[in-house]
Amino acid sequence: MNKNLNLYQNKYFKITLYMVLFSMLLILAGVITLQLLVVVPTAILSLLQFYLFTHILHFLFGIYLTIQYFIIRKKEEITFKLTKTIISIVLSPISAVIAYTGFFMLALTNCSAN
């Protein structure tokens, strides 16, 4: 169980970094589309709404990993630290705010281009 938790922690951290990167790219896309007044299709905005909801699931999974860490720590010796999971739990809401801002900018293009 110890090795699985370590594997989940590393994958969780990498996914968090990719989510932060994608959220920053979303802000960049929002700024560019607002400058060029390009209308973003509604289907893309709908898909981005699902991406916003994945931040909630991602955050809850981080809390689950943290709880599992403390349960296993009582039963057996653990050879890794919880730092990556804690960093990911902190970065997940920050990424959600960045993604929401980018989503809002992209949604504004539908209003401003018409």
Q: 58 with 92: CB under 8 angstroms? A: yes
| Residue span of the structural domain in which 43 resides | 2-113
Q: Report residue 55's pLDDT band, with 50, 70 and 90 as the boundaries.
A: very high
Q: Which two tokens stand for residue 107?
A: 């949604």
Angstrom distance (rounded) from CA 65 to CA 49? 25
**In the chain, how many domains are there?**
1
pLDDT in tens, 9-53: 889 999 999 999 999 999 999 999 988 888 888 899 999 999 999
d(CA 65, CA 78) in angstroms, rounded, equals 14
Rounded Cα distance between 70 and 91, Å, is 21
pTM of the model: 0.85
pLDDT in tens, 69-79: 888 776 666 66
94, 58 in Cβ contact below 8 A? no
Q: What is the DSSP letter of 80?
A: S
